[in-house]
Structure 1
Amino acid sequence: MPPHQQPRGAGAPPQRGRGGRGGRGGARGGSAQPAHQAPPSHISTVGVRRPDYGSSGRPVTINVNSFKAEVPDGSIYHYDGVISTEKNFPLQMNMRIIKALQDHVAPNIFADTRVVFDGRKNLFAPVELKLGGPSREFDVTLSAAPSNPDRPPRIYKVRLAYAAKINTEILHRFIAGQQSQDNTVSTALMALNVVIRMEPSQRFPTKGRSFFTSDGARPIGAGLVLWRGYFQSIRPAMGRMLINVDISTGVMYQSGRLIDVCMSFLGINNPNMLTATMPDRQRLALGRFISGVRVHTRAAAQVAAGAAGDQGTPRVIRKLSTQGANQVTFVLRGGQIKTVAQYFQETSGRPLQFPGLLCVEVGQGALIPLELCAVLPGQLVRKEIPEDKKTQLVEFATMRPKERLESIKKGLQVLAYGQSEYVRKFGLTVDPTLLTTQARVLNAPTLQYGSTGNPRAATVSPRNGSWNMADKRFFRTTEIKAWVFIIFESMNRFGDQVAQTVATDFVKGIRTTGIIVVDPNPIVRRVNGQGDIPRDLQAAGAECFAKKKVAPTLFVVVLPEGGNDIYTIVKHWGDVSRGVATQCLKSRKCTGAKIQFWANVALKINVKLGGINVIPDPSQVGILSDPHNPTVVMGADVMHPGAGTTGRPSFAAVVSSVDSYAAKYVADQCVQASRQELITDLKEMSVYLLGKYISYREHVEKVQPSLRAPKRLIFYRDGVSEGQFQQVLDQELPLIKAACRELKINPTITLVVVGKRHHVRLFPTNERDADRSGNLPAGTVVDRDIGHPTEFDFYLQSHGGLLGTSRPAHYSVLYDENHLTADTMQALSFALCHVYAGSTRSVSIPAPVYYADTVCARAKIHFDPTSRQEWSDSGATDVSENLEAFKNRYLPLHADQRSRMYFSVRVSCFIVSDATDSRS
């Protein structure tokens, strides 16, 4: 257990704490108190105790997509439910077994109650079960299984064992701030979540805490269909228990004939192309796509007649055959050899319609022709979906606030808590009234640009998360001594005259921002995207040096549509091989572009060459600008391989500010074990980055020796779940401290987790409080009612709405030696959302977190793009060997790029809205 916390104040020790949640709707004594009161001293936490509530900003009344839940006084009985099998069954199969146990095998034991089951091991009951002892074993058969005279029904052994009795009083105390987070509280919360999802899990396809319906389903091709879903989660808050209900999106396999699904995936309309003559690449891709899919099988005669017939038990596809049904053979029990096509013709009395088509292997090696299989509806795709389908996914998931709110209310009717026998038996009641609470809209920080002789032009005050750079110069500009213009687009789409105009407009546009272009005439080269791109780039640079007598500072590259592979090669060459800045443009975007387009391009170029675009006004963010207490801001993130991907590592990135304004950043990254969230090399990365901060302060800002090292360190951590908070404190925080000790510095540390993957949404109650998109304005912050009962957290919607419903970021302060107040922490985080270099809009999470996310996403450029093995399994049989192989192929950043913001990209792809719900 973490140590008990002491009251905050001068000289108080570092504070830790943050735990899970528990609660009761309308807790005893009413709702959360308006004035902050610290919890009793005996209450321990995982993260920092809430120091106070924020008071800055304009008050506004909002709705939250949560509903009050009332947990009655009483007990919850916890049992271990073990299903003895030789393999792990899917959750739905386990649920069927437990349901059969209640309904048919032991109805007397469950006559007065209904138990709920999480599908794995945990079973909960509102009353004690009469097992006749601490445990009991049952034999369960599934009545729905088809009868077979040669094989008796399968018997499943189910053992129930008493585990614990949980008094709901602990939840009441927890949400009132009078109970520490412990295993009992966590188990009670898990029980309530199992209660509310038990009913819908038996009626709808399920993924985590989301349930999906076919209403409004949209086919998108490639064998995929999008379904609407409803997310629900019961969560503790201040003085109340809440059920969070939201909209989610599920990607399903297209149902119906397997032949049709296969043709849709491959984009073909002739079933006779699904034969052994199809290219290996297509066959392997199709095999990966349909593996794991459940199908019904029908006899050939039923298929010919269009009848459904007795479809029997669903079969799971293991793989795709390499030969057609009329080619692949097997041996019958009598030793006779037949083809699959012959076998099905003889057993059904009819020949196959498509005997040359491939087969699928199911069960223990049985081969079934494609035409005899039908895909069951409602099967979630648990693999990464194709890149070209993600746009349609985003469009489907995007809903404006009003539309989303109406769908949430409809979802409450679908979830029907009042009609669930499980919810009723546990005595849980849900108020269908949407939660209303008070929020505040923070004042945006004034931003400071470079001097132009006009004092008014040097500053800007953002309005609803955006501002205009007209008449502005970057805070610290850079110089382009010579540059190269590379064109990959074809001549008929991007002719010489267009190229000349684009080059001229480029120079004219970026000069308006203060960037100095010494020689406006570039070396122009047209390059074949199918050729040796690195060689051609190198030749263009050599030509520039020969003619201009100076090495090129920048390569501007025009890409054709669909030029992602070229982009990767260019970035690898520039960032890893040669150490030169590259700026890629899409041909259709830059042709005829206006001056504002080039100003936006300049945002990225300036920082890639070492400049600083904008800083928050030092007078408004005191924690950053205090000259006696220099502050370094860091951000960290980890990116994991896509769903269904095996053999690939995770990538970790840490970025750090180096200047006095927390506007200029450097990055470090590493390869680590697949799906490991904690950063293994955090100490070494922190040593390197903090050394960069000290060096920049010494050599660039030239501050006195006593002020070169940071006195304060603010560390924003992205990506970790609440269940991993204690691990971050136990494993990552010591590595940061160890890095400081190695450098012989001793900054006071604040560690904050920034959460994006949650389902809390904020809605204006009055249209006058909304921006043009219907969302609440940038700067909306909530730290009452929906926050943790005792710990320091808040929700901040820091960006203006664009499309869909904006998603606030959730900030949880895990560790704080700087004793920051709520107002200070909120203002700092909001200010850092305004210094993202690639945008003139505030972004949804602090810039250092975004940069870390970007560096992770760019990990692919560190592998040699001319080698096709970097994303394939290495062939190693040991996981550690596989990781080592990836580490060996992961090439470091070029030394000339390590002090630059090479990772600056467009911000449009980073606006956090409801469009990313499908990942949850």
Structure 2
Amino acid sequence: MGHPLAIHHYNVLFRRIMNILGLALHGRHFFDPMGAKPIPEHKLEVWPGFVTAIHEFEDGVMLCCDASHRVLRKQTVSELMTDLVNIARGADSWKQEFTNLMIGQQVLTRYNNKVYRVDDIDFNSTPMNTFSMRNGEQVTYIDYYKRHYDVNIIDKGQPLLKSKVKAKVKGQELSQIVDLIPELCFLSGITDSMRADFKVMKSIAQHTMVAPSLRQKALIKFLRNINGNKEVRTLLDSWGLHLEDTNITLPARCLAPEDIYHGRNAISAGTLNCDWGRGATNNPVMSAVDLGSWYIICTNRDDKIADEFVNMCSKVSSKMGIQVKKPTVWTIPNDNTQLYIQQIQRLKTLQVQIVVVILPIARADKYAAVKKMCCIEFPVPSQVIITKTIRPPDKLRSVTQKIILQMNCKLGGTLWSVKIPMKNTMVVGLDTYHDASQRSHSVGAIVASMNPQMSRWYSKIYSQGVGIELIDGLTQALLACVNKYREVNNVLPEQIFIYRDGVGDGQLGVCVDHEVPQLIAACQHIAPNYSPKFLVVVVQKRISTRFYTQGNVDYVNPPPGSVLDHSVTRRDMFDFFLVSQNVRQGTVAPTHYIVAHNTTTMDPDKIQRLTYKLTHLYYNWCGTVRVPAPCQYAHKLASLVGDSIHKEADESLADKLYYL
């Protein structure tokens, strides 16, 4: 039953079942075009679907099934093209913009419910062009679509979209170019402008963030559709297979809530909702860095908003034990990027703790320019604030409190801690940023703890380019962290715990067989007799497994701290699932942890408890997060370098959380 070839065969069978049920394949998952839910106010529709995978688990071969959704636009490629032509007013400049927008985008052809990726646009071809059928007959695209799909093409002068499609013929993978008609192609996914629109995202969330009770109903209905279909039953019976009518029920356990320790011995008692926002803002921080010399740069128009922000800073900071003096505010006539850079350059001759830049609108290029300047050319902690964040008077207090806490972290302060009874232990988080535009290049970030409370962190960047082994840069970065730990604590760490994010199932073998041995070997370069104990845990967020618990009336999300480490875990691995965060909307997603290597004395229970404790230490959020804090810090750092500064920040910032 559990042979790899048999498992592969079951998954192939299940794809056939999805086709029998009339579901359309989009990418790797199947969706139901008949169950589409329209969002007319935004010209969108949401297709419900299912992510399915059959694996062998501890309790045998099981189907992992989760509800999924695909957002589609009701705008055709032809309509987008018409809009661009109207803006350009007849000039040919629209062609370049149209090409930039469409290349790499996915489109849906509703006549056959297939998704294609646009690889090129042929402006010299039209639907009037002919092509050869299999029988050698020459036919125009207009006649072909009328004959096969009863579709009339109206615009006979539109260009053709080109898509490279892979097909298997007699076991060989071949690629062929398919021509698509813009008029018949619907745009797929949502744009950046839609993502930035709160109303659009709220409308989409109402359809995609499914509560546990609704998710369970959808799953039971799906299983009934499978078992109630005669053709599907015949197919399963012919292989001697049977699918249960409901999902599996298992016992789990919940770790005790963690107390949060603030400055001056103040404690926020642990609760099941894992929210200590009030405790973090009403109690002193663990270690404060007083703000004596700081500068604000903003436009003339935002001068008053900056003054209100400064006044609020002085009101809220004393409760947190942080002394904030009045900053120097420099105004500029407009939000030209060069003007911000010139003002930051003026600070080079002055004593500056932190520079605050207030931008009128969120612009990636302006943000990147400011961060590049403050991280590399003139290394100083920086805080970028968007005007609309601090404009509403009713939200100014709570927003300012969070900004003050964030600025304290960037200056080297610490906010809170949890009880971690371990000595001489360095906890490391690893994550990788992959640049979609430069497929060959990726940036790795490593963040390591420098004190027993796990409240101070040191960071390094390693680059992975063409022909450069991932491990080469990673070992050097780890050595730098170990040496820094010795410099801070006057002793080498006896234990090194590594939480490795960004590793999928396909890369697990490389991680265990290639990375881990070389990371361990790297430590011998520090001292010949130095051999610390290692714990390497792979962290997986992108999983389809979902858990919910039976409430008083219906199914609800399990509380934070819920652990499941049997039955649905892998048969040949030391792994567990942990729900660490509290969500108010939709179904909570657990995180999958795989212990890839362990030479410490930590048993499963201690590893699970430590992992849960570490989810409380991410200083950008007064609550638990989905992964351990060092992983989340590494993710933030890798994103900052990959998206904005494209280079490692100055060493003087490495022991501060400048990337928050």
Determine if the alignment matches structure 1 residue 560 to structure 2 residue 360: yes
Amino acid at match of 2:328: P
Cα distance change of structure 1 residues 295 and 247 upon mapping to structure 2, 3 Å threshold? closer
Q: What pairs up with 1:139-154 in 2 under 5 angstroms? A: none
Structure 1: gaps of 5 or more residues: 1-167, 172-184, 255-259, 297-310, 331-339, 345-351, 699-707, 864-889, 905-920
Amino acid at match of 2:402: N
Matching residue of 2:6 = 188
Aligned equivalents of 1:316, 1:834: Cα separation in 2: 41
TM-aligned CA deviation for residue 848 of structure 1: 0.8
TM-aligned CA deviation for residue 444 of structure 1: 2.0
TM-aligned CA deviation for residue 814 of structure 1: 1.2
Determine if the alignment matches structure 1 residue 282 to structure 2 residue 82: no
Aligned match for 2:483, one of 691, 694, 699:
691
Aligned match for 1:830, one of 601, 609, 612:
612
Are 2:435 and 2:642, in contact at CA under 8 Å, matched by a contact in 1?
no
Matching residue of 1:631 = 425
Aligned equivalents of 1:286, 1:740: Cα separation in 2: 48
Are 1:633 and 1:714, in contact at CA under 8 Å, matched by a contact in 2?
yes
DSSP-derived class of the 2:347 partner: helix
Aligned equivalents of 2:115, 2:218: Cα separation in 1: 33
Matching residue of 2:538 = 753
Aligned equivalents of 1:767, 1:513: Cα separation in 2: 40
Determine if the alignment matches structure 1 residue 615 to structure 2 residue 412: no
Are 2:27 and 2:115, in contact at CA under 8 Å, matched by a contact in 1?
no
Matching residue of 2:270 = 461
Are 1:274 and 1:357, in contact at CA under 8 Å, matched by a contact in 2?
no
TM-aligned CA deviation for residue 557 of structure 1: 1.9
TM-aligned CA deviation for residue 417 of structure 1: 7.7
Amino acid at match of 1:634: V
Fraction of identical pairs, as percent: 21
DSSP-derived class of the 1:585 partner: strand
Between 1:646-655 and 1:814-823, the stretch displaced more is 646-655
DSSP-derived class of the 2:31 partner: strand
Cα distance change of structure 1 residues 691 and 462 upon mapping to structure 2, 3 Å threshold? farther
TM-aligned CA deviation for residue 206 of structure 1: 2.0
Cα distance change of structure 1 residues 783 and 589 upon mapping to structure 2, 3 Å threshold? same
Between 1:775-784 and 1:497-506, the stretch displaced more is 497-506
Deviations 1:10-41 (A, max 9, x none): xxxxxxxxxxxxxxxxxxxxxxxxxxxxxxxx
Determine if the alignment matches structure 1 residue 226 to structure 2 residue 76: no
Matching residue of 1:210 = 29
Are 2:24 and 2:32, in contact at CA under 8 Å, matched by a contact in 1?
yes
Amino acid at match of 2:477: M
Between 1:243-252 and 1:526-535, the stretch displaced more is 526-535
Cα distance change of structure 1 residues 418 and 858 upon mapping to structure 2, 3 Å threshold? same
Aligned equivalents of 1:639, 1:395: Cα separation in 2: 30
TM-aligned CA deviation for residue 200 of structure 1: 0.9
Aligned Cα root-mean-square deviation (Å) = 3.8
Deviations 1:454-484 (A, max 9, x none): x4x2454344211132431111111222111
Aligned equivalents of 2:650, 2:551: Cα separation in 1: 53
Cα distance change of structure 1 residues 533 and 356 upon mapping to structure 2, 3 Å threshold? farther
Between 1:669-678 and 1:841-850, the stretch displaced more is 669-678
Structure 2: gaps of 5 or more residues: 131-139, 145-152, 165-175, 196-200
Aligned equivalents of 2:414, 2:53: Cα separation in 1: 43
Aligned equivalents of 2:18, 2:334: Cα separation in 1: 56
Determine if the alignment matches structure 1 residue 520 to structure 2 residue 329: no
Aligned equivalents of 1:314, 1:748: Cα separation in 2: 49
If you compute each CA radius of gyration, which structure gives the higher value, 1 or 2? 1
Amino acid at match of 2:274: G
TM-score by length of 2: 0.83
For these two proteins, the number of residue pairs brought into alignment is 616
Matching residue of 1:799 = 581
TM-aligned CA deviation for residue 447 of structure 1: 2.0
Amino acid at match of 1:756: K
Determine if the alignment matches structure 1 residue 433 to structure 2 residue 246: yes
Aligned equivalents of 1:578, 1:634: Cα separation in 2: 28
Aligned match for 1:249, one of 38, 44, 69:
69
Matching residue of 2:83 = 268
Between 1:459-468 and 1:670-679, the stretch displaced more is 670-679
Amino acid at match of 2:355: F
Are 2:227 and 2:245, in contact at CA under 8 Å, matched by a contact in 1?
no
Cα distance change of structure 1 residues 527 and 449 upon mapping to structure 2, 3 Å threshold? farther
Between 1:416-425 and 1:317-326, the stretch displaced more is 317-326
DSSP-derived class of the 1:429 partner: coil
Deviations 1:643-701 (A, max 9, x none): xx565522221111111222222222233247999555211111112222222223xxx
Amino acid at match of 2:184: A
DSSP-derived class of the 2:462 partner: strand
Q: What pairs up with 1:703-782 in 2 under 5 angstroms? A: 708-744=491-527, 745-767=530-552, 774-782=556-564
Matching residue of 1:424 = 237
Are 1:687 and 1:743, in contact at CA under 8 Å, matched by a contact in 2?
yes
Amino acid at match of 2:16: M
Aligned equivalents of 1:694, 1:448: Cα separation in 2: 26
Aligned match for 1:641, one of 412, 418, 435:
435
Aligned equivalents of 2:4, 2:129: Cα separation in 1: 55
Aligned match for 1:570, one of 370, 373, 380:
370
Matching residue of 1:442 = 255
Aligned equivalents of 1:783, 1:601: Cα separation in 2: 38
Aligned match for 1:656, one of 448, 454, 474:
448
Aligned match for 2:316, one of 494, 509, 517:
509
Aligned match for 2:402, one of 587, 600, 607:
600
Aligned equivalents of 2:378, 2:242: Cα separation in 1: 64
Are 2:108 and 2:115, in contact at CA under 8 Å, matched by a contact in 1?
no
Are 2:59 and 2:568, in contact at CA under 8 Å, matched by a contact in 1?
no
Matching residue of 2:168 = none
Aligned equivalents of 2:38, 2:563: Cα separation in 1: 35
Aligned equivalents of 1:767, 1:680: Cα separation in 2: 54
Cα distance change of structure 1 residues 290 and 609 upon mapping to structure 2, 3 Å threshold? closer
Deviations 1:497-556 (A, max 9, x none): 333121111233233312233x323233236322414533325525xx6xxxx5121112
Determine if the alignment matches structure 1 residue 236 to structure 2 residue 51: no
Aligned equivalents of 1:276, 1:360: Cα separation in 2: 21
Are 2:471 and 2:518, in contact at CA under 8 Å, matched by a contact in 1?
no
Matching residue of 2:636 = 854
Between 1:718-727 and 1:666-675, the stretch displaced more is 666-675
TM-aligned CA deviation for residue 752 of structure 1: 0.6
TM-aligned CA deviation for residue 264 of structure 1: 4.5
Aligned equivalents of 2:417, 2:83: Cα separation in 1: 54
DSSP-derived class of the 2:76 partner: helix
Amino acid at match of 2:254: V
Matching residue of 1:532 = 338
Deviations 1:835-878 (A, max 9, x none): 11111101111001111111222124554xxxxxxxxxxxxxxx
Report which of the two has the higher share of helix: 2
Aligned equivalents of 1:525, 1:288: Cα separation in 2: 41
Are 1:223 and 1:253, in contact at CA under 8 Å, matched by a contact in 2?
yes
DSSP-derived class of the 1:525 partner: strand
Larger relative contact order, structure 1 or 2 (CA cutoff 8 Å, min sep 6): 1
Amino acid at match of 2:103: R
TM-aligned CA deviation for residue 267 of structure 1: 8.4
Cα distance change of structure 1 residues 418 and 782 upon mapping to structure 2, 3 Å threshold? farther
TM-aligned CA deviation for residue 358 of structure 1: 4.1
Amino acid at match of 1:900: K
